[in-house]
Amino acid sequence: MKTLQEIIDANPDAETFRFGDSKKLCDSILALIRSGQKTATCEALRVYGKGGDEMPVVGRRDVALEWDGRAAVMLETVELSTRRFGEMDDAFVAAQGEFRDLEHWRKSYEAYFRRNGGFDPDMELMCERFRVVEDFGGRNV
């Protein structure tokens, strides 16, 4: 099993991050990624840039962490776009793998954004599609 430091040393451009804002949500999202159901995600654009997280870059490989900080999976960004909350569509919601429909996505993400810095129906989102490169639970993809 590779350590996080070994993974970062081998991939010096990689960023590390956690999905969600709780262990339960992180575990759920990682399970969806590992099953192949989740191939996309989004986040408030405001969390990126000066003083925040590094914006994903098409072609870059980043490491999603387990809630406890262990490496979970390496993901490669294959598509990146921005859109407003109200511009989300059914196809992108389906690629996120965790929502019944667009309305379920809206309710879930509004609650998430309210917990994490505020919600505005006109807020900008970073929308990312990715592929799994390696599962550090022992399974290469």
Predicted local distance difference test score (pLDDT) of residue 140 = 44
Structural domain containing residue 21: 4-140
Q: What is the pTM of this model?
A: 0.91
Q: For the chain, give the mean pLDDT.
A: 94
Structural tokens at position 139: 């399974």
CATH code of the domain containing 18: 3.10.400.10
Map residue 69 onto helix, strand or coil. coil
Only one residue has tokens 């040393």, namely 9
Write the pLDDT tens digit of every residue in 69-100.
999 999 999 999 999 999 999 999 999 999 99
125, 43 Cβ separation under 8 angstroms: yes
126, 55 Cβ separation under 8 angstroms: yes
Write the pLDDT tens digit of every residue in 7-66.
999 999 999 999 999 999 999 999 999 999 999 999 999 999 888 888 999 999 999 999
Predicted local distance difference test score (pLDDT) of residue 103 = 97
As for how many domains the chain has, the answer is 1
What's the CA gap between 6 and 3, in Å, rounded? 5
The residue-averaged pLDDT of 91-120 equals 97
